[in-house]
Amino acid sequence: MKHFINLKDIPVKDLRKIIVDAKKRKNLRKKLSTLEVDKGAPLKGKLLIQMFEKSSLRTRLSFYLAIRQLGGETLTLRSNELHLGQGGESIADTAKILSTYGDGFMLRTDSDKKVKNFKEHLSIPVINGLSPSSHPTQVLSDVFTVEEIKKKSISKLNISWIGDSNNVLDSLIAASVKFSFKLSIGCPKKFEPGKQVRDWVNKNNKKIFIYNDAKKAAKGADVIFSDKVISLNDKVNKKKKIEQFKKFNINQKLMNSAKKDCIFLHCLPRGSEVSEEVFLGKKSHVWQQALNRVHVQKSILLYCFGKLR
The site for ligand CP (CB under 6 A) is made up of: 56-59, 130, 138, 267-268
* Least distance (Å) between residue 57 CB and ligand CP: 4
Establish whether 142 is a catalytic residue: no
* Least distance (Å) between residue 265 CB and ligand CP: 11
- DSSP H or E run through 167: helix 167-178
Interface residue with ligand NVA among 267, 274, 290, 294 (CB under 6 A) is: 267
Establish whether 29 is a catalytic residue: no
Asked if residues 168 and 187 have their Cβ atoms less than 8 Å apart, the reply is no
Stretch of 80-88, 149-157, 225-233, 243-251 contacting ligand NVA, by CB under 6 A: 225-233
* Residue 168 interacting with ligand NVA (CB under 6 A): yes
User: Would the CA dihedral through 43, 49, 53, 56 be positive or negative?
Assistant: positive
* Residue 167 interacting with ligand NVA (CB under 6 A): yes
Q: Binds 57, which of ligand CP, ligand NVA, none (CB < 5 to 8 A, cut-off by type)?
A: ligand CP
Q: Binds 167, which of ligand CP, ligand NVA, none (CB < 5 to 8 A, cut-off by type)?
A: ligand NVA
Asked if residues 136 and 5 have their Cβ atoms less than 8 Å apart, the reply is yes
Asked if residues 104 and 305 have their Cβ atoms less than 8 Å apart, the reply is yes
Q: Binds 228, which of ligand CP, ligand NVA, none (CB < 5 to 8 A, cut-off by type)?
A: ligand NVA
* Least distance (Å) between residue 131 CB and ligand NVA: 9
Q: Which is nearer to ligand CP, 138 or 160 (CB)?
A: 138
Q: Which is nearer to ligand CP, 187 or 290 (CB)?
A: 290
User: Would the CA dihedral through 196, 215, 292, 13 be positive or negative?
Assistant: negative
- Lay out the site mask for ligand NVA across 31-60 (x = CB under 6 A, - = otherwise): ------------------------------
Residue 186's contacts (CB-CB under 8 Å, 6 or more residues apart) are 160, 161, 162, 163, 211, 212, 213, 214, 215, 216, 217, 218, 248
Of 256, 264, 308, residue with least CA distance to 285: 264
Q: Burial, 17: exposed, middle or buried (Cβ in 10 Å; 0-12, 13-18, 19+)?
A: middle
Give the number of residues written for the chain.
Answer: 309
* Least distance (Å) between residue 268 CB and ligand CP: 5
Q: Which is nearer to ligand NVA, 8 or 135 (CB)?
A: 135
Name the DSSP letter for residue 38: P
Catalytic one among 25, 68, 108, 266? Answer: 108
Give the count of alpha carbons within 13 A of 124, CB side only.
21
Catalytic one among 293, 295, 297, 304? Answer: 293
Establish whether 293 is a catalytic residue: yes
Establish whether 187 is a catalytic residue: no
Establish whether 68 is a catalytic residue: no
Instruction: Give the separation between CA 106 and CA 95, rounded to whole angstroms.
Output: 12
Catalytic one among 25, 68, 164, 267? Answer: 267
Q: In what order do the strands lie in the sheet with 104-108?
A: 73-78, 47-52, 104-108, 126-128
The residues annotated with a catalytic role in the active site are 108, 135, 138, 227, 267, 293
Contact set with ligand NVA (CB under 6 A): 130, 135, 166-168, 227-228, 231-232, 267
